[in-house]
């Protein structure tokens, strides 16, 4: 069966368990190998130990905006999470805007918020605004052209523009996702997505009977209600659940509201939740030698032509860039392998499972192993406190932090709104 097929929802109360178990099962049956020795090699490498404490906290969720209420900020955060995709359009986005997928989506949501707050005819981030927003507005706010040029049929040397190309496809995906979500919210009587998410958080708090919101309860309500969060598929007859954007939303809520002394937002605890697997995490884990595709099925054994690129060099300490070099424009990224839906789910599932194992290994390292590796003496102390979200943030941030990491291939999948 194809990865475009949807499985049944996990049983109530077992959403997190379903993510872990389905991803481990799909990784195993797809013959993707993970060895403890390669994980230790990564954890004790100068690249990891020299940058982990800095990069694992680089979440990219600082908002240069003023909000009239806490629910307004929650609404923006919820929509940002809903639209946290477009990784397959990284290269054409760079060509048109000079920025990657995440930076463009964040800028789009900020722009929609500012436009809605400055006397616009419509509040684009309300349920009704989402329901009616059109492609032209999205393209304008995203600062991209939906047209492509082609040679004129009968006049040599003349080109004509027509709707089409990757930016047209991306704008259509964003518009449909907003329209669909807006329709659901309006029919259910919610003024915006943030109000719905707040209600779900309160439901999770009741289920927890006094503690932080029960994440299984919250996750189930979000995924079942909003199709844009239903990140699941059937691959080779097996159900697989990733729920990347919903998990990201829960983590973002804790980052943004967890430090407030008094807040009307119930804050979930997310440090032990599965990672939010996109195209960056599995691609990085392949290049760093953790995910072994040499025997992988679904033609993945040959998908990454440069995966053996010398991982030993990648695990060395990053070269310090001087200020002038650091400020130079970044080179446009190269296109990585274009994968099928099934292949992408297999690699994303493998990354989720790999990060679980990475944390397990980190927590079991002993002093003699760390000393033998030549890692700094204080490594043992912080290594034993590593969380899944720390590993997620390190992989995602490290991918942008070093010139050699930025040049590494990342797989792509277009036409999806899941990552």
3-state secondary structure 232-300: EEEECCEEEECCHHHHHHHHHHHHHHCCCCCCCCCCCCCCCCCCCCCCHHHHHHHHCCCCECCCCCCCH
pLDDT in tens, 244-271: 999 999 999 999 998 887 779 999 999 9
Band of pLDDT at residue 314, cut at 50, 70 and 90: very high
In DSSP terms, 159 is beta-bridged to: 151
Question: In this structure, how many other beta carbons lie within 10 angstroms of the beta carbon of residue 227?
Answer: 13
* Pair of tokens at residue 161: 């523009």
CA–CA distances in Å: residue 413 to residues 54, 70, 150, 245? 30, 35, 25, 16
The answer as to whether 144 is a domain residue is: yes
The residues pairing with 147 across neighbouring beta strands, listed in sequence order, are 163
- The residue-averaged pLDDT of 174-197 equals 98
pLDDT for 308: 47
* pTM of this structure: 0.93
User: What per-residue confidence (pLDDT) applies to 72?
Assistant: 96
Q: Is residue 296 part of a domain?
A: yes
- State mean pLDDT over 205-220: 95
Q: How many other C-beta atoms lie within 10 A of the C-beta of residue 310?
A: 9
pLDDT of 310 over the 80 cut: no
Mean pLDDT confidence for 95-100: 94
Residue 366, in any domain of the structure? yes
CA distances from 348 to 25, 205, 309, 374 (A): 12, 30, 21, 32
The per-residue pLDDT of the chain, averaged, comes to: 92
- Tell me the mean pLDDT in the region 288-293: 96
Report helix angle 46-55 to 388-401, nearest 10: 110
Q: Are residues 392 and 369 in contact, defined by beta-carbon separation less than 8 angstroms?
A: no
What tokens does 149 get? 């040029």
Q: How many domains does the chain have?
A: 1
> Tokens representing 173?
């995906």
> Has residue 211 been placed in a domain?
yes
Counting beta carbons within 10 angstroms of the beta carbon of residue 370, is it exposed (0 to 12), middle (13 to 18) or buried (19 or more)? buried
What does the alpha-carbon distance between residue 58 and residue 46 come to, in Å, rounded to a whole number? Answer: 19
pLDDT at residue 3, as a whole number = 43
52 found inside a domain: yes
Is pLDDT of 165 > 90? yes
Q: Is the pLDDT of residue 325 over 70?
A: no
Instruction: Find the angle CA(6)-CA(275)-CA(67) to the nearest 5 degrees.
Output: 95
Give me the percent of the chain exceeding a pLDDT of 90.
Answer: 80
pLDDT interval class at 45 (50, 70, 90): very high
Q: Tell me if 416 is assigned to some domain.
A: no
Range of the domain at 260: 15-406
Q: Please check whether residue 23 lies inside any domain of the structure.
A: yes
Q: Which of 157-161, 175-179, 271-275, 306-310 has the lowest mean pLDDT?
A: 306-310
Of residues 159 and 299, more confidence is placed in: 299
Residues 6+ apart with CB under 8 A from 310: none
Residues 6+ apart with CB under 8 A from 314: 47, 287, 288, 404, 405, 408
Does residue 225 belong to any structural domain of this protein? Answer: yes
């Amino acid at each position: 069966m194809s990865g475009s097929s949807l499985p049944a929802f996990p049983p109530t109360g077992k959403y997190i368990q379903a993510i872990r178990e389905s991803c481990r099962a799909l990784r195993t049956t797809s013959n993707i190998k993970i060895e403890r020795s390669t994980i230790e090699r990564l954890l004790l490498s100068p690249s990891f130990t020299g940058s982990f404490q800095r990069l694992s906290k680089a979440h990219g969720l600082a908002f240069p905006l003023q909000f009239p209420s806490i629910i307004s900020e929650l609404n923006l955060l919820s929509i940002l999470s809903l639209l946290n995709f477009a990784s397959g359009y990284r290269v054409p986005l760079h060509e048109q805007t000079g920025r990657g997928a995440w930076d463009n989506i964040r800028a789009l949501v900020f722009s929609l918020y500012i436009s809605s707050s400055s006397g616009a005819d419509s509040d684009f981030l309300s349920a009704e605004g989402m329901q009616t927003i059109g492609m032209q507005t999205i393209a304008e706010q995203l600062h991209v052209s939906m047209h492509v040029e082609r040679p004129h049929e009968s006049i040599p040397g003349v080109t004509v523009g027509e709707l089409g190309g990757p930016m047209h496809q991306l704008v259509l995906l964003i518009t449909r996702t907003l329209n669909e979500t807006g329709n659901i919210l309006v029919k259910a009587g919610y003024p915006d997505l943030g109000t719905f998410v707040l209600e779900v958080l309160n439901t999770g708090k009741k289920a927890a009977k006094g503690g932080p919101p029960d994440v299984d309860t919250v996750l189930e309500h979000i995924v079942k209600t909003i199709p844009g969060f239903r990140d699941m598929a059937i691959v080779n007859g097996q159900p697989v659940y990733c729920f990347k954007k919903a998990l990201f939303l829960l983590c973002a809520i804790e980052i943004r509201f967890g430090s407030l002394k008094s807040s009307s937002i119930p804050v979930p605890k997310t440090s032990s939740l599965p990672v939010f697997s996109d195209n960056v995490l599995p691609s990085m884990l392949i290049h760093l030698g953790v995910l072994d595709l040499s025997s992988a099925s679904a033609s993945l054994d040959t998908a990454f032509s440069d995966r053996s690129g010398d991982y030993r060099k990648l695990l060395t300490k990053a070269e310090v860039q001087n200020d002038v070099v650091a400020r130079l424009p970044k080179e446009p990224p190269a296109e990585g392998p274009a994968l099928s839906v099934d292949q992408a789910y297999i690699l994303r599932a493998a990354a989720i499972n790999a990060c679980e194992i990475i944390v397990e290994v980190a927590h079991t390292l002993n002093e003699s192993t760390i000393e033998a590796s030549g890692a700094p003496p204080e490594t043992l102390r912080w290594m034993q406190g590593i969380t899944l979200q720390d590993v997620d943030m390190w992989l995602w941030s490290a991918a942008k932090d070093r010139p050699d990491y930025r040049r590494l291939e990342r797989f792509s999948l277009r036409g999806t709104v899941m990552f």
